Structure 1
């Protein structure tokens, strides 16, 4: 028990010592800006979008021509001894893509580029949502830590008062033991609150790239909710699913085009050493689509397109549900905040004040005072949690309403 009390006291001292650092807490706007600039998540998505843009440019390139040199009829026997009868052919060949391979390839690369840029936008939106929630969680953790510290101070004063009353013979020793047990419980809760504060601080610091060991968050309780999207407006997640479906459909064209054999045309000049004559040569080649017509590739691409269409429908359902659920949760949280921050909180504070005065005057028992303090702590904790739930629901609603053009 001594070690636990010592740890709790140390935690309380650390919370108290951080008061100076809380003088300049980070605002939500600052956190969002810093996170967008520092997050490796955004850097990764941006690099992938740039890579997709480069692949889209490369997709339109045609095959390179091939230069070949062929030497025949040398180092043999009889008339082919040495280099006297050597024939040298210098030729250039060009593969000609048929079946619309190039345009199909460009269509796939363009769809993948659109998907990559939408993924980049989604990464920004996801990061903003996570920062909003982490900022609110840090603010709530700070409020809980302050409340826990206040409860320790009240419990310590109550234990001192109980000890004085027991020594004066007005209360039995059991009252002092109960007050000291309440102090130990308050100190343990303070240590737990401090641990949650450290975890919340670390989470926000990681998201925004901060190395401030005493990072804190400004309170923001009245941020307005965004309006509803127009009925037929697709959300960012729907646009992302649509881009993925478009890429899958474009791959069907690529698979079908790959079933069409390409023609390779060649032409060159041949020199015959024996008579010092030259002649032109020309030819072409084409694969025979006897064994491989890419039927499996075509069927796979068609199935992927069907899966992409189903994924788009599911994304649309998920987006509508996310918008609806977030708005309902936000409305419920607003109602809780309004109810908990109204007269009931002031009444609970007044009840504690009167119970404390009455206990000192001998009109109320220790249990009545403890009940009043517990009711006040419950009310304050409920308000902190309601504000946190509102911030979470608001972050989810803002994320659900994001569009690519926002």
Structure 2
């Protein structure tokens, strides 16, 4: 059985055009696109962000609100004594006042609200990448276990064939019973290993389905570890890293800090208030116009401590961004070098180790049939071949897992059109 595995181009996509996943026996294979689509639709963390974005939009509406005018009514000289009893000397004042915000306070509030809204989108992008990378990682692990199932079956098949050959020789009286027991013991160990792999595969199916909070309705995943994508140059990856969601979030945080500082500076400027109204003097039967303007005198800066704290926060964010960029650059270089090494390892196993192990096995079987070597040498050759096959599967799997981490760092798909097919484990017969 051969499978198609196209992980990288799908990791960072926002949406997918894959057809809905059909339930039932007619649809038992899960593709990566379907797994990622389900994660986007049902991941618990991602489901909270639409509400948080609505809250951010509401904050923008609130930031645009301006002060409302005030209506004031004042009644003086009421219930007096002497010449002005009751309301005869009352003075009624009716005024309308309006606060005028100075220092572009409204614009600064809107600027801060927009930056905070962008931060929510940045947080969503990071959470989305984490969720997709987590699902893709579980998908890769399940694909690896499926390959190990094929490997275990091929190993058991070869050992069963060897046991049949040994039993024929034992019936002819040319083989000791202890040699038969050794082969049976090796076969028993292989079956135990196969059972462990089968159990791990079943657990991994549930672990993958838990990414979208469901039970698995698939029996296997679709993919091929043997195809190792070519990588872009390291310089291109470093350029992509500078535009990654992780570093862009620091840019947004710095903008928020700058907006907060500008808003603090705007709030340090006092607002002006004007008022206009009418005054009625009941005693003199006169009505007059009232006009007024008030402007607080800020003899000291009321926000000087807050301004200093915000300046320090900006410096802290700049330092954190620089340290994070350096750390991520070093990690990216490490992952890139690991991928190059894993590609060389896979190639060495394919072109050198596996051919030698196969040749050793064939020579051992031939020598065993001719009575030139004992069963221990044959079992050793079988183990060398099985170990080489498993090392190939593990190296291929590690390549894709490292590639996944590299994509998570850059936030970009890294697959180029050129790929390198590598040998797959197949069932062998004598």
TM-score after normalising by structure 1: 0.77
Report the alpha carbon displacement of residue 391 of structure 1 after superposing the two structures with TM.
0.8
Asked whether the 8 Å contact 1:166–1:175 carries over to 2, the reply is no
Aligned equivalents of 2:384, 2:27: Cα separation in 1: 30
Between the two structures, name the one with larger relative contact order (CA 8 Å, sep ≥ 6): 2
Asked whether the 8 Å contact 2:228–2:396 carries over to 1, the reply is no
Report the alpha carbon displacement of residue 113 of structure 1 after superposing the two structures with TM.
2.8
Asked whether the 8 Å contact 2:28–2:217 carries over to 1, the reply is no
Q: Secondary structure at the match of 1:93?
A: strand
Report the alpha carbon displacement of residue 307 of structure 1 after superposing the two structures with TM.
0.9
Aligned equivalents of 1:245, 1:162: Cα separation in 2: 74
Which residue number in structure 2 is paired with residue 225 of structure 1? 231
Mind listing any 5+ residue stretches in structure 2 that lack a counterpart?
1-23, 413-430
Report the alpha carbon displacement of residue 54 of structure 1 after superposing the two structures with TM.
4.3
Instruction: Label 1:92 to 1:231 Cα distance change in 2 as closer, same or farther (>3 A).
Output: same
Which residue number in structure 2 is paired with residue 118 of structure 1? 122
Asked whether the 8 Å contact 1:235–1:400 carries over to 2, the reply is no
Aligned equivalents of 2:217, 2:347: Cα separation in 1: 34
Report the alpha carbon displacement of residue 301 of structure 1 after superposing the two structures with TM.
0.5
Aligned equivalents of 1:72, 1:153: Cα separation in 2: 107
Aligned equivalents of 2:69, 2:285: Cα separation in 1: 28
Report the alpha carbon displacement of residue 43 of structure 1 after superposing the two structures with TM.
3.6
Asked whether the 8 Å contact 1:135–1:217 carries over to 2, the reply is yes
Which residue number in structure 1 is paired with residue 424 of structure 2? none
Which residue number in structure 2 is paired with residue 61 of structure 1? 65
Instruction: Label 1:370 to 1:272 Cα distance change in 2 as closer, same or farther (>3 A).
Output: farther
Which one of 329, 336, 345 corresponds to residue 354 of structure 2? Answer: 345
Report the alpha carbon displacement of residue 45 of structure 1 after superposing the two structures with TM.
4.0
State which drifts further: 334-343 or 381-390.
334-343
Aligned equivalents of 1:321, 1:62: Cα separation in 2: 49
Report the alpha carbon displacement of residue 303 of structure 1 after superposing the two structures with TM.
0.8
Q: Secondary structure at the match of 1:63?
A: coil
Q: Secondary structure at the match of 2:108?
A: helix
State which drifts further: 150-159 or 368-377.
150-159
RMSD across aligned positions (CA): 3.8
Report the alpha carbon displacement of residue 393 of structure 1 after superposing the two structures with TM.
2.3
Asked whether the 8 Å contact 2:237–2:410 carries over to 1, the reply is no
Which residue number in structure 2 is paired with residue 10 of structure 1? none
Asked whether the 8 Å contact 2:30–2:218 carries over to 1, the reply is no
Instruction: Label 1:339 to 1:48 Cα distance change in 2 as closer, same or farther (>3 A).
Output: farther
Which residue number in structure 2 is paired with residue 8 of structure 1? none
Which residue number in structure 2 is paired with residue 241 of structure 1? 250
Asked whether the 8 Å contact 1:229–1:401 carries over to 2, the reply is no
Aligned equivalents of 1:301, 1:122: Cα separation in 2: 25
Report the alpha carbon displacement of residue 158 of structure 1 after superposing the two structures with TM.
5.2
State which drifts further: 195-204 or 140-149.
195-204
Q: Spell out, residue by residue over 1:246-277, the C-alpha distance to the aligned partner (whole angstroms, 9 max, x if none).
A: 22122211222233333343444455677776
The within-5 A match list for 1:2-81 is 25-70=29-74
State which drifts further: 95-104 or 123-132.
123-132
Which one of 129, 141, 158 corresponds to residue 133 of structure 2? Answer: 129
Q: Secondary structure at the match of 1:390?
A: helix
Instruction: Label 1:391 to 1:230 Cα distance change in 2 as closer, same or farther (>3 A).
Output: closer
Instruction: Label 1:102 to 1:164 Cα distance change in 2 as closer, same or farther (>3 A).
Output: same
Q: Spell out, residue by residue over 1:13-45, the C-alpha distance to the aligned partner (whole angstroms, 9 max, x if none).
A: xxxxxxx97985333344344433443444434
Report the alpha carbon displacement of residue 155 of structure 1 after superposing the two structures with TM.
4.7
Which one of 311, 315, 318 corresponds to residue 306 of structure 1? Answer: 315
Aligned equivalents of 1:157, 1:89: Cα separation in 2: 110
Mind listing any 5+ residue stretches in structure 1 that lack a counterpart?
1-19
Asked whether the 8 Å contact 2:205–2:216 carries over to 1, the reply is no
Which one of 178, 181, 185 corresponds to residue 182 of structure 2? Answer: 178
The within-5 A match list for 1:1-400 is 25-70=29-74, 89-155=93-159, 170-207=174-211, 211-220=215-224, 221-226=227-232, 228-229=235-236, 234-236=242-244, 237-270=246-279, 279-285=288-294, 289=298, 293-342=302-351, 344-349=353-358, 351-352=360-361, 355-356=364-365, 359=368, 362-400=371-409
Which residue number in structure 1 is paired with residue 426 of structure 2? none
State which drifts further: 329-338 or 226-235.
226-235
Q: Secondary structure at the match of 1:341?
A: helix
Q: Spell out, residue by residue over 1:83-116, the C-alpha distance to the aligned partner (whole angstroms, 9 max, x if none).
A: 7766655443333222332232222223223333
Q: Secondary structure at the match of 1:225?
A: coil
Q: Spell out, residue by residue over 1:149-202, the C-alpha distance to the aligned partner (whole angstroms, 9 max, x if none).
A: 443455556566666766765444443443343234223322332233234323
Asked whether the 8 Å contact 1:49–1:120 carries over to 2, the reply is no
Aligned residues: 384
More helix by share: 1
